[in-house]
Structure 1
Amino acid sequence: MIAHIFADLCSGCNACIATCPTHVFDFGAETPVIARPDQCQTCYMCELYCERDAIYVAPDQHAMEAVDPDAIRTSGHLGQIRRDHGWDRPREDGHLDPYRFLGPLLREGVEAAERRFDKKLS
């Protein structure tokens, strides 16, 4: 579940807002705000899209985790998802891992499902 945004690392690019398929974030004055942590699916898309490694998603999908930001910084977890998926390394064919396209596709699916659900309620 989404656990922490490191404001000092965040560039305010809002890529996490754009890629989150379940609308966990809202726009903030300088950094995004974790507005709906209970909607987090622990898909790690926000971590993957954060080029500054300013987001930490805890591995427990069902419970909010109390985090120690200093411990997270020193643990090496920041940016680990991006490194593990090779997002900063082009493949031999020159493309980044296609997993990066999953976020917007998931969001489209969620929005389509919401439209269908809203029509059924009408």
Structure 2
Amino acid sequence: MIAHIFEDLCTGCNDCVSACPTHVLDASTDGGTPVIARLDQCQTCFMCELYCPTDAIFVGADQTGPESIDPEQVRASGLLGQMRRDHIWDAPDGDLAPLEEYWRLGPFLQEGARTAAERYARQHPPPAKEGA
């Protein structure tokens, strides 16, 4: 699950907000750091981390719920940006070869989004209408 957004690294570009298939993040109302608004919707797809151009997002791969992390320990660990480096997300000279397989994620992300939406609906049922 998304564990932390480093405000000092975030530029407020909102690429992470746009990339998240389950709408976990909300854009900041003041142009600053996005807000983790629906953590229970996170499916740990790493799209927010991959799309963050400044490596300001840390996703806890083994995290299954809200958990406290030590941001400075994460920063010192070298894990910030590791997903982007491992997948050569910022390939030099416009080389798209490392990204050729990412199109295959579409169906999995769509299934995850449906599952997350169903789970969210179960956990947050709409209020009953009066007189019904």
Q: Which runs of 5+ in 1 are unaligned?
A: 115-122
Distance 2:104 2:8 in 1: 27
Q: TM-score, normalised by structure 2?
A: 0.72
Q: TM-score, normalised by structure 1?
A: 0.77
- What's the % identity of the aligned pairs? 59
| Total equivalences in the alignment | 110
- The residue that corresponds to 1:40 in the other structure is 42
Distance 1:76 1:34 in 2: 22
- The residue that corresponds to 2:58 in the other structure is 56
- Going from structure 1 to structure 2, the CA distance change for 1:50 and 1:31 (only over 3 Å counts) comes to same
Distance 1:101 1:94 in 2: 18
Q: CA deviation at 1:65?
A: 2.3
Is the Cα–Cα contact under 8 Å of residues 9 and 53 in structure 1 kept in the other structure? yes
Partner secondary structure for residue 97 of structure 1: helix
Is the Cα–Cα contact under 8 Å of residues 45 and 109 in structure 2 kept in the other structure? no
- Which amino acid in structure 1 is aligned with residue 47 of structure 2? M
| Matching of residues 39-118 of structure 1 within 5 Å | 39-90=41-92, 94-95=95-96, 96-98=98-100, 99=102, 102=105, 106=109, 110=113
- Going from structure 1 to structure 2, the CA distance change for 1:80 and 1:100 (only over 3 Å counts) comes to farther
Q: Max radius of gyration: which structure?
A: 2
CA RMSD of aligned residues (A): 2.7
Distance 1:6 1:97 in 2: 26
